[in-house]
Structure 1
């Protein structure tokens, strides 16, 4: 039931900003790592704060398994409000933590809360759209969502000039409160007749459906591989630009500029999907991604991991544009057969993506040696893995149209040309 006072623009913006809370919990604090190291008694070149990112992502992954079944049983709106509440609690615990150990625990709880808006957003999009329309809607949401990484580092850098880094966590808490008030306008997109039983048997059956569906399982694995190296970039970007390139002052501008480029790519994705289809677009971009990653590895090897920043940035931006196009499209392809179980399927897909992705990212984080070599090899290695998985799923034939999605037993499912 759609409320007449909630138009398409506000509907999309509300979903995007709900999902953006997860990014806010990461990106706002990145410029504060130097101040956090000093306050927590860590060495200036310590990578221990990467655990603050990893703990958050692990909480985000664990929470996926909770919210999906709740959203399928009780509806999207109440589940969203639960997520906002836990998000605010985690931000509060992190703000008050006196040391790194308790900070990591608070960040895990914070991630648990951030999982709610993420799962509900994916489920609502799947409720309302199918096929290419779903891919276009997800691209619009992700394009608005990317505003947060553009603005957050600059805002964070400005705040820590005049206040403690803990104030950044308070701002995230206030953002959750604001979103809770705004989300009261969100319509419930899951009709009562489509709500599913909340039982372990049903959840296990849906999880089995996800992992045994060739398209869903395969694209989830490919998505997870790409997400792994992306989380490593998020965790190591501050120290790479600050230590490797000696430009800590320019980090918010560089990070925000790259994020803005990703946002523009997501807007462009809607046109690519309209003209080529979701699957064809994804395959073309994935091949290009692997090629550009190979160029980055060559550049890194030839310069012993310390290329000129002017050469590194364009190649990095091109790779991250690939992420901007692949992540929403792979999500769409993975979710397409799961209409009847959208909430739980989003939970399983998200949990695998985030938990395994965080682990893959942590492997790269630990290999940081003061150069861009580990990250460069990560982009190439994880990109090749994603390509191999897609080739296996597609039985060696790329660029085919996407299969008709399985509807919730309703007539006239959407098709992708």
Structure 2
């Protein structure tokens, strides 16, 4: 269901362009996670200070989407994407040159601001052109492409540490950002026709966001996204300290352990891609809730039952990623399905919930617990329980 007033893009091209844009976010997160303990020593900071570089990034990432989405509804997806990824490149270069933690915070903030375009615009581009099970299929393809970066990034980060310092990692990020700018300039097409564009005025923007936030059909799926991603980014911030500092893995061994996370997410996306046209969205969400519940129990029990075991930690991580693969495209499609006229704002606000959940998860993991192990075994079971409760409340609302 492509709008004929603009050339549009094929499903495959939309998935490739959208997937690479979205992949920049986890690249900026996972590439340098093996270097977090090293960064603590180099910058003379604490574990909490190093983890806050993730939190600053998430905060900018979440808030900037609220600007990026309406800008794309007014000026189009392609030009706004190019502008924001140029900002991302500048933030990467500033981070690469940062001599202290304060400038690294600034660079990470600018990075997060620029990379916000990835989530907001990829979803808007899908909604501009596709609906229903076809949209779920495209978003699943985008998620599958998204997994390539986390699969490679920790290993690449470990190799970079052997060749240089953590500064070099941000140079690599800048190069990836330049590649996205070139891709948008040469291979992407504008998916939003001139006739469908919305004025960029504060009253219009606030009105659109208010319309979305008071709509239960938008709010509940967005809350599910926020909660599941808060769990994901919570353990992303914690695992380097649990596995490298706590258990004693080398950065390369850590990268190998993280392949469990990536393989689970890839497997989940493949299964969802197969099932999306065969079973209902409600059944996909039921599968996701069962997996998240099992993962929460695993985090609560296994690390205590088998102290010092990498497998006891990575099993619940892998099960969580399976659940995330099931719930993400379904919840995103459900949240945006009734708001095609303001797809940029809807994509931005779903992204805000998703990345805002990541911000809340990483902030809680960094500040509310005495150590990383306690955070991992307490926070994740609580998030799993809350996610299931929200999903059940949504089903009750629909049926009554």
Aligned to 1:412: none
1:280 is displaced (CA, Å) by: 2.0
Aligned to 1:120: 121
Q: 2:44 aligns with which of 35, 41, 46?
A: 41
Q: Is the 8 A contact 2:303 2:377 kept in 1?
A: yes
Distance verdict in 2 for CA 1:389–1:310, change over 3 Å? closer
Q: Is the 8 A contact 2:70 2:344 kept in 1?
A: yes
Q: Is the 8 A contact 2:365 2:372 kept in 1?
A: no
Aligned to 2:335: 334
Q: Is the 8 A contact 2:298 2:315 kept in 1?
A: no
Aligned to 1:196: 198
Aligned to 1:288: 291
1:245 is displaced (CA, Å) by: 2.0
Count residues with an aligned counterpart: 393
Deviations 1:239-298 (A, max 9, x none): 111122221341011113321321221122111221112232012221332133223312
- 2:302 is the alignment partner of 1:299: yes
Q: 2:7 aligns with which of 2, 18, 21?
A: 2
1:128 is displaced (CA, Å) by: 1.4
Q: Secondary structure at the match of 1:172?
A: helix
C-alpha separation between the residues in 2 aligned to 1:7 and 1:214? 32
Aligned to 1:270: 273
Deviations 1:287-330 (A, max 9, x none): 33213322331224445xx2522333223211221122222322
Aligned to 1:210: 212
Deviations 1:307-359 (A, max 9, x none): 52233322321122112222232222211222111001112222233235412
Distance verdict in 2 for CA 1:111–1:307, change over 3 Å? same
C-alpha separation between the residues in 2 aligned to 1:83 and 1:75? 13
Deviates more, 1:154-163 or 1:349-358: 349-358
- 2:136 is the alignment partner of 1:147: no
C-alpha separation between the residues in 2 aligned to 1:362 and 1:181? 34
Q: Is the 8 A contact 2:260 2:314 kept in 1?
A: no
1:362 is displaced (CA, Å) by: 1.2
Q: Is the 8 A contact 2:303 2:309 kept in 1?
A: no
Which runs of 5 or more structure 1 residues have no equivalent in the other structure? 401-417
Distance verdict in 2 for CA 1:266–1:128, change over 3 Å? same
C-alpha separation between the residues in 2 aligned to 1:320 and 1:364? 18
Q: 1:21 aligns with which of 12, 19, 24?
A: 24
Q: 2:34 aligns with which of 22, 25, 31?
A: 31
C-alpha separation between the residues in 1 aligned to 2:53 and 2:74? 32
Q: Is the 8 A contact 1:218 1:389 kept in 2?
A: yes
Aligned to 1:410: none
Deviates more, 1:324-333 or 1:57-66: 324-333
Distance verdict in 2 for CA 1:17–1:136, change over 3 Å? same
- 2:252 is the alignment partner of 1:245: no
Select the structure that is richer in helix: 2
Aligned to 1:408: none
TM-score normalized by the length of structure 2: 0.93
Deviations 1:220-247 (A, max 9, x none): 1222122212111111111111122221
Deviates more, 1:325-334 or 1:172-181: 325-334
